[in-house]
Structure 1
Amino acid sequence: MNPLQKLNQLGQSVWYDNIERSMLNVDGELAKLIKEDDLRGVTSNPAIYDKAIRSSSAYDADIKELQKSFNSPSDIFFELAVKDIQMACDLFMPVYQATNSLDGYVSLEVSPDLAHDVVGTIQEAKLLWNKINRKNAMIKVPATIEGIEAMSHLISEGININVTLIFSIKRYLRVIEGYISGLEKRVSAGKPINHIASVASFFISRIDAAIDPMLAENGKALQGKVAIANAQKAYQHFLEHYGEKRFKDLQAKGAKPQRLLWASTGTKNPEYSDVLYMDSLIGTETVNTVPPATYDAFRDHGTAKLTIMDNMADVDGILEQLDSLGVSLEDVTKKLEREGIAQFETAFNAMMDTINEKLLTL
């Protein structure tokens, strides 16, 4: 049994932060990862799709055919992506069934230009959900203030949601409230909640990448520790809020906790272990969505043991020390959210250019 397989036994589900058409054959790479590593899900985003469509000819035939029916490169992209998500969902359906709908999910993100548009996000999320037409799909919605409002409404309509780009504890608490409120609204309407699944994608390595340079002179002892402490603090809130009576009442009606999903777990600093953010955040009722290089590294030399509660008593001290050095984690996380949305917009626009180029040459 390799370390990836062991994580699932410890209560942490491993998802793959990558998708590309050539992976999705019934005997292709994704099927192999499911069989050999007990892979439990897949996430995608505009940056992943920009790379996939730009570097692969696997989409060319569909692009050529789709231009007969669609004029917009955005419409063509979502047709391509929906087909991918459907294929991946079908490969994961046995996982979905074997885990009693805990895992086996595949995520597709709404357009990044909708990050501050409640109505637009709801409309596009519902459109994509209906197009994919798979009960083990998830629609990704950014955790902006507007995105959380949209997420809560979509949960109330019975749609599986991956709420993403969470960097701060303050924002995560709003996500928890939005999720639980959405479930309560659905219960009040007399509708079932036992089939709804959701994850809260909490970003890790980008925080250290942003903060470590600020600590170069006076705070070297904190370098490489803030992102993990921030995630541990989020996990404390997860345990607290999903252990309270308010959620337990929903759980009695079939509700599932909105699990924390660790995102951005590839190590950006070459001086750190290439599996630092996997080794350090292994906990029950969590998910880790892993980019390919980190996935391979953890399979090779990761350590599968419960670690998320390690040094938990030091978490508040680390965050207080950071504040005493004049570094505002809240300001950093706000900036990271803005940058994250901008990066996805840039990737999405680059992908539109790629599709336009292919439309001219195919």
Structure 2
Amino acid sequence: MNPLLQLLAHGQSYWLDNLTRQMLRNGELARRIHDEGLRGQTSNPAIFGKAIGKSQDYDEQIERLIDERRPTPEIYEALAIQDIQAACDLFRPVYDESKGLDGYVSLEVSPHLAHDMQGSLEEARRLHRMVQRPNVMIKIPGTPEAVPAIEEALFEGIPINVTLLFSIESYEAVAWAYIRALERRLEQGKSINALSSVASFFLSRIDVEVDKRLKALGPVDGIQPQDLLGKMAVANAKLAYQRFREILDDPRWQVLERQGAKVQRMLWASTSTKNPDYRDVMYVEPLIGPDTVNTMPDETIAAFADHGVVRDTVMEGMEEARQTMQALEKLGISFREVTELLMTEGMQKFVEPFDQILDIIEKKRSLLGGEGQTRAGEAASKGAQPAK
């Protein structure tokens, strides 16, 4: 059996980290859902930037929106929402069959709002309302400033994908935000059994950053830096999963679970292997287990379908994971400093492609005969903030 189809029996869903209009039109996405067990899909500004900039699939709609004198940010938003709606419709049977656990398509708030609590909340409300699908999941970065927005959006019944989590501390903050939102809904007599959320824990970027630091060090107290290469991301994820299980044992969660609440699943993100010397499924095989999602790009999905090994692994090697983290600190590398840097860089890696999308649409506007638009005009449109 295709390893991808085996994951569900071990409590893990896999989602696709890619979305293009071509896969919607040519039947590829429908086939993958039906034949390959695909259970969800995520998008971000970088994904849409590639889809819009490297094809002509969007030109007809862009031209029509230009004729309507729509500002550039509204054009981008219209393109993205049309794709999200179409994907949600294809995943609707999965959503219905799983009773709202799977079948989601994620759409991200403007990355310029990452440190703006009220702006993030208003954007989440607006995008959820515009897509008009129960299985759209709004992505909000798990910055400290955004945690109250995440809680409030969940309280209002908006499914949330909390993205860009690198540290266990950040994960805990959003896990308790989910629990508080459910408790508030219960107190007000609102249903809690339809609400769904995932906490997206990023992986490969951790190893890229830590490996760079390890390669600059020599041995310390018998610890060889090269022995830790490529191990930190999985160790961190395993310890985060252990904390996740501990939260599920907490009496506050168990009260909610008895009332029908869904678990806020751990989602493994950034799962493509960046170092060609490492196994291409190194962020999939060691993290399989109950109540998890792995969102993979196309190349990782293909690799895992070809030679992935499936068994319950996420709770294995917990002591080794702790020792790995301790060894890193003994070498003088602050993991907290690494995760704070990655959060900052991660936001910039979404801001830049978001701004580039606007530039791409501006160029298409010129090619298709429309007038250009200034950045000030763009910033006036909802959901887009001027680049700093």
Q: Distance in 1 between matches of 2:168 and 2:243?
A: 9
Equivalent in the alignment of 1:3: 3
Q: Distance in 1 between matches of 2:326 and 2:69?
A: 54
Q: Deviations over 1:129-187 (max 9, x none)?
A: 01111111100000001221110000000000000000011111111111111111222
The residue type equivalent to 1:162 in the other structure is: N
Q: Distance in 2 between matches of 1:191 and 1:178?
A: 17
TM-score by length of 2: 0.91
Question: Displacement, 1:78?
Answer: 1.1
Equivalent in the alignment of 1:21: 21
Question: Displacement, 1:70?
Answer: 5.0
Q: Deviations over 1:259-283 (max 9, x none)?
A: 0000000001111001111111111
Contact 1:140 1:164 in 2 (8 A): yes
Q: Distance in 2 between matches of 1:267 and 1:5?
A: 21
Equivalent in the alignment of 2:357: 351
Q: Distance in 2 between matches of 1:159 and 1:70?
A: 31
State which structure, 1 or 2, has the greater radius of gyration over its C-alpha atoms.
2
Task: Give the stretch that moved more between structures: 185-194 or 51-60.
Answer: 185-194
Q: Does 1:288 align with 2:287?
A: no
Q: Does 1:326 align with 2:335?
A: no
Q: Distance in 2 between matches of 1:310 and 1:90?
A: 37
Q: Distance in 1 between matches of 2:198 and 2:231?
A: 24
Contact 1:148 1:163 in 2 (8 A): no
State the 4+ residue runs in structure 1 displaced beyond 4 angstroms: none
Q: Does 1:260 align with 2:266?
A: yes
Question: Displacement, 1:243?
Answer: 2.1
Contact 2:39 2:91 in 1 (8 A): yes
Equivalent in the alignment of 2:157: 158
Partner SS for 1:280 = helix
Question: Displacement, 1:83?
Answer: 0.9
Q: Does 1:338 align with 2:344?
A: yes
Matches within 5 A, 1:188-199: 188-199=187-198
Q: Distance in 2 between matches of 1:179 and 1:70?
A: 41
The residue type equivalent to 1:21 in the other structure is: R
Q: Distance in 1 between matches of 2:226 and 2:139?
A: 36
Q: Distance in 1 between matches of 2:335 and 2:272?
A: 20
Query: Out of 220, 223, 228, which is 1:222 matched to?
Result: 228
Structure 2, unaligned stretches of length 5 or more? Answer: 220-224, 369-388
Q: Distance in 1 between matches of 2:259 and 2:351?
A: 39
Contact 1:12 1:288 in 2 (8 A): yes
The verdict on how the C-alpha distance between 1:260 and 1:40 changes in structure 2, with shifts beyond 3 A counting, is same
Query: Out of 322, 342, 351, which is 1:316 matched to?
Result: 322
Equivalent in the alignment of 2:125: 126
Matches within 5 A, 1:92-103: 92-103=91-102
Question: Displacement, 1:248?
Answer: 1.1
Equivalent in the alignment of 2:200: 201
Task: Give the stretch that moved more between structures: 77-86 or 157-166.
Answer: 77-86
Q: Distance in 2 between matches of 1:53 and 1:177?
A: 37
Question: Displacement, 1:69?
Answer: 3.4
Number of residue pairs aligned between Structure 1 and Structure 2: 361
* Superposition RMSD in Å: 1.0
Partner SS for 2:284 = helix
Partner SS for 1:39 = coil
Contact 1:282 1:308 in 2 (8 A): yes
The residue type equivalent to 2:8 in the other structure is: N
Q: Deviations over 1:269-315 (max 9, x none)?
A: 11100111111111111000001111111111111111111211212
